[in-house]
Structure 1
Amino acid sequence: MTDSTEQTGSSSRKGQVVIDLKEYRDARDPMPTTFHRLELNQILRIYGRMVGEGEWRDYAIDFYKDRAVFSVFKRSGDLPLYQVEKNPKLAAKQGAFSILNTQGKILKRGHELAQVLKFFDKVHFLKD
């Protein structure tokens, strides 16, 4: 004969409940927003091209609870020239991906990262 508490997965002590530690941690401190591997590959492909052309020299990646930011710099210690931002809360509205300039102005926004990153092709051709 089995005890009814064993069948439900709760503790054998009356009145106590077993809580999954992972669920508890996620509820208290949610994981930060990150770039997926394919998204990061697309960004780094553009970054590598611009470094090869001497336009960019450094980058930083920041992960916050609500967004992920890839910043590119002309020189270390300067303000970022551009920031590629992923904000999943805006995915259904204006698009999760955006490119911002040094002043924080949105230069390009969209639902697909590849389309947003085409902005850097236009910037490159304007300089020639």
Structure 2
Amino acid sequence: MDQIPTEPYRAVVFFDRRELDKLLRLYGRMVAAGEWRDYGIGGLRDAAVFSVFRRASEAPLYRIEKRPALARRQGAWAVIAQGGHVIKRGHELDQVLNVFDRGRLKLVE
């Protein structure tokens, strides 16, 4: 006999078309600058994650996360560095992605 799930169904969080377009434009600029080389996208129950890599075999340099549960408090968007440090958090994607503009963040080897 099949078991009935006790937890209500929760949809997977993912990026909409406009958000994904902004993320891929940023990715294209950073690839052209030689900073990034690969990316990965994941949709989870509580977050959508866009990860960028210097090399595909390494841990992600940055994760850009969308967590709708935090939208009313800290903001749904966050840029998280390789060590897990939150670099920027906010309510709007454009505001959070500004951290990558004008040389604010550089890869240090």
Q: TM (normalized to structure 1)?
A: 0.74
Match of 2:35 among 55, 68, 80: 55
Deviation for aligned residue 1:31: 1.6
User: Which runs of no fewer than 5 residues in structure 2 stay unpaired?
Assistant: 1-6
Q: Distance in 1 between matches of 2:77 and 2:104?
A: 22
Question: Share of identical aligned residues, percent?
Answer: 51
Structure 1 partner of 2:58:
78
Q: Which has the higher helix share?
A: 1
Q: Give the aligned length.
A: 102
Whose relative contact order is higher, 1 or 2, with alpha carbons under 8 Å and at least 6 apart? 2
The letter of the residue matching 2:11 is M
> Counterpart of 2:72 in structure 1: which amino acid?
A
Give the counterpart of 2:89 among 109, 112, 127: 109
The amino acid of 2:26's aligned partner reads I
Larger Rg: 1
Structure 2 length-normalised TM: 0.86
Alignment counterpart, residue 69 of structure 2, candidates 89, 93, 115:
89
Q: CA deviation at 1:126?
A: 5.7
